[in-house]
Amino acid sequence: MPTITVVDRAGKERTVDAEVGLSVMEVLKINGFDDILALCGGCCSCATCHVHVDAAYLDRLPPVSEDEDDLLDAVEDRDATSRLSCQLPVSEALEGMRVTIGAED
């Protein structure tokens, strides 16, 4: 089972187990990261699960879809590493990935 290091909005880091097959958003919710609201439940229709992904892992993730890109356009702190965590399937390739929870909008 891969591990992911999560930095919350307060800057606190915690490494958690991430079950393969879940989304990163589901892993964050299961592990009690309340900064992730995930209001749409993972349907890619809000941006309340925005995270910044360690740049070294971006090529291990599926490409940003048009819908995800449109939603990320509404995020104030969007940068080149911004993704919606609901669109990031956990795989063994993500072992050691670090994500930082995006700023509250």
On whether the CB atoms of residues 100 and 10 are closer than 8 A, the answer is no
Q: What is the pLDDT of residue 104?
A: 85
Number of domains in the chain: 1
Q: What is the pLDDT of residue 105?
A: 73
Q: What is the pLDDT of residues 70-92, one digit of tens each?
A: 999 999 999 999 999 999 999 99
Residue 42's H or E segment, with its range, is none
**What is the CATH number for 94?**
3.10.20.30
Domain range spanning residue 83? 3-101
Residue 46: partners with Cβ closer than 8 Å, 6 or more residues away? 37, 38, 39, 40, 71
Work out whether the CA dihedral 69, 28, 7, 1 comes out positive or negative: negative
What is the rounded distance in angstroms from the CA atom of residue 51 to the CA atom of residue 22?
A: 16
Q: What is the pLDDT of residues 6-62, one digit of tens each?
A: 999 999 999 999 999 999 999 999 999 999 999 898 999 999 999 999 999 999 999
Q: What is the pLDDT of residue 91?
A: 98
Q: What is the CA radius of gyration of the chain?
A: 12
